[in-house]
Amino acid sequence: MSQKIIIINGPNLNLLGTREPEIYGNESLEDLRSIVNSHIEKNFPDLSVDFYQSNTEGEIVNKIQESAGLDGIIINAGGLSHSSISILDALLSTKIPKIEVHISNLFSREEFRQNSYVSKGVDGFVCGFGINGYLLAIDGISKLI
């Protein structure tokens, strides 16, 4: 039985590879997509993934709501993680497994980044492993669905 998840990326993640590479690495969003697809093909042949990125809070909320019929959500809400009650509410209303991922270790960064509203609406949390955190999130969500 085929299962489908979505990876939702928020503001500025379209700039991966060029924005603060010392924090976020040198891989682009397209590189991330390729790495994720290879990981899934190798380890989870019955799993498919859609990718979505937006710099707009409301579009992310809409995508979460539209994803309610899928098997799982992996979300990196970027800077909106620390401020968006709307994204939290959308996640809480979606009754499928959800994992939050962050490329950097939020807890070693500025104090305002150490609180994530999004975390209250997900089943798991991965941070600090670079883009490999997405692979850990895929491994985790495969156990939850």
Choosing from 39, 102, 117, 134, which is the catalytic residue?
A: 102
Instruction: Identify the DSSP state of 18.
Output: T
* β-sheet bridge partners, residue 73: 6, 98
Provide the token pair at 114.
């150490």
Per the annotation, the verdict on 102 as an active-site residue is yes
Task: For residue 73, report the phi and psi dihedrals to the nearest 5 degrees.
Answer: -130, 135
In b/e form, how buried is each residue of 86-123, taking b as 16+ CB within 10 angstroms? ebbebbeebebbbbbbbbbebeeeeeebeebbbbebbe
Which residues belong to the active site?
24, 102
